[in-house]
């Protein structure tokens, strides 16, 4: 509770913490002393402008007290990894080519890469998070990730045993939405993040929590059919949203004809698919994550389409915007997953 308060607000005095937590001052002082002892908090001195009397001493989170290792498997044919601080700042970042590896070979590469990143950390390690495409259960078992040819892979357990550190494995779009919520300046009004990469997936944060869905597959809007006569999708059916807006398919359409028209068409189809979701959940924001040259025009087009299709009360204050976290949004989000799991902070 105290870490959450300091994480959200930056710094506070012990008296502030007692007021906001409802704990006694003695309990707060004991807990703060314990957290200072663990190196997670530090005393920051007194605020410069104080009233008469003894000024309170502020305490704050030591952002590089510990490091987090994050691995992103959602980028086309690459494995991106980083060592990050507790506030998602990248300390070191590395990329390994996947070179078409699948199945066991891909798993072996991830394990070797994770060892190397753990070795590159210069602080005690809080934990490791892996963001993967596909459906992942709450225990970090990858149930189905067709692009990597993984099914029923207990990656959190196997990597945890290999590394000797806590390991979290989660869906890439759910990780990205966690990053946007924790570090990207999102409000509490309900957030859907649509991630455009090899495939298309979404993550939802409602009331401060990532929505898992009953089978762990919430956000699979990429496989909603938007054109019954469209191109065949990787899932086997024709005309899924993914066939219009995944990065490789959209780039191919743009190269084949009028690039602006292809982008506008993709943005409109995205808006058509998202409008019922935005209206049903009364979301405040849809955030797009992906290559900047694509997501900026898509966001404008999708917002116009959604506004045209929903009631004024739904579109009031609603925006579609591009993630400010850029390419490293998934890595920052992976930090958020470890913070939530190990420290209860989000």
CB of 232 to Zn ion, least distance (A): 9
- Helix count (H) and strand count (E) of the chain? 12, 16
Q: Point out which residues bind Zn ion (CB under 5 A).
A: 223, 233, 235, 240
State which residue, 113 or 244, has the beta carbon closest to Zn ion: 244
Is residue 56 a contact partner of residue 11, using CB atoms and an 8 Å limit?
Answer: no
First to last CA, the chain: 11
State which residue, 212 or 222, has the beta carbon closest to Zn ion: 222
CB of 233 to Zn ion, least distance (A): 3
State which residue, 242 or 285, has the beta carbon closest to Zn ion: 242
**Residues sharing a CB contact under 8 Å with residue 276, sequence separation 6 or more, in sequence order:** none
CB of 14 to Zn ion, least distance (A): 54
CB of 259 to Zn ion, least distance (A): 24
Cα–Cα distance, 79 to 184 (Å, whole number): 23
State which residue, 20 or 225, has the beta carbon closest to Zn ion: 225
Residue 239 Ramachandran class (φ > 0 left, ψ -120 to 50 alpha, else beta): left
State which residue, 191 or 240, has the beta carbon closest to Zn ion: 240
State which residue, 74 or 182, has the beta carbon closest to Zn ion: 74
State which residue, 36 or 235, has the beta carbon closest to Zn ion: 235
CB of 224 to Zn ion, least distance (A): 8
- CB atoms closer than 10 angstroms to residue 7: 19
CB of 237 to Zn ion, least distance (A): 5
Cα–Cα distance, 171 to 60 (Å, whole number): 31
Nearest by Cα to 114 from 169, 84, 69: 69
CB of 235 to Zn ion, least distance (A): 3
Residue 58 Ramachandran class (φ > 0 left, ψ -120 to 50 alpha, else beta): beta
Rounded to 10°, the helix 2-9/25-37 angle is 80
Give whole-number Cα distances, 284 to 179, 206, 312, in Å: 17, 10, 13
Cα–Cα distance, 71 to 113 (Å, whole number): 9
């Amino acid at each position: 509770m105290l870490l959450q308060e300091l994480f959200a607000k930056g710094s506070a005095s012990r008296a502030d913490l007692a007021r906001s937590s409802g704990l006694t001052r003695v309990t707060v002082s004991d807990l703060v002393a314990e957290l200072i002892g663990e190196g997670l908090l530090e005393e920051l001195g007194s605020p410069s402008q104080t009233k008469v009397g003894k000024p309170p001493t502020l305490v704050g989170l030591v952002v590089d007290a510990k490091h987090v290792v994050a691995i992103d498997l959602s980028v086309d044919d690459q494995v991106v990894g980083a060592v990050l601080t507790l506030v998602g700042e990248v300390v070191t970042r590395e990329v390994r080519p996947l070179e078409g590896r699948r199945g066991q070979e891909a798993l072996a590469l991830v394990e070797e890469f994770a060892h190397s990143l753990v070795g590159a950390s210069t602080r005690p390690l809080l934990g490791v998070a892996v963001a993967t495409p596909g459906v992942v259960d709450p225990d970090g078992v990858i149930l189905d990730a067709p692009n990597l040819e993984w099914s029923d892979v207990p990656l959190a357990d196997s990597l945890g045993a290999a590394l000797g550190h806590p390991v979290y494995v989660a869906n890439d779009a759910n990780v990205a939405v966690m990053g946007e919520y924790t570090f990207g300046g999102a409000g509490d009004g309900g957030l859907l993040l649509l991630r455009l990469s090899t495939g298309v997936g979404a993550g939802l944060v409602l009331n401060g929590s990532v929505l898992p869905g009953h089978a762990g597959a919430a956000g699979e809007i990429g496989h909603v059919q938007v054109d019954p006569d469209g191109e065949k999708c990787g899932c086997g059916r024709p005309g899924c949203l993914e066939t219009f807006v995944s990065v490789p398919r959209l780039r191919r359409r743009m190269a084949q004809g009028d690039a602006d028209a292809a982008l506008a068409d993709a943005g409109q189809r995205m808006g058509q698919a998202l409008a019922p979701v935005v209206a049903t959940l009364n979301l405040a924001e849809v955030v797009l994550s992906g290559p900047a040259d694509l997501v900026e025009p898509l966001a404008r087009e999708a917002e116009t389409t959604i506004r045209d299709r929903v009631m004024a009360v739904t579109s009031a204050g609603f925006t579609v915007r591009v993630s400010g976290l850029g390419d490293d949004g998934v890595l920052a989000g992976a930090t958020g997953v470890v913070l939530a799991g190990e420290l209860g902070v989000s």
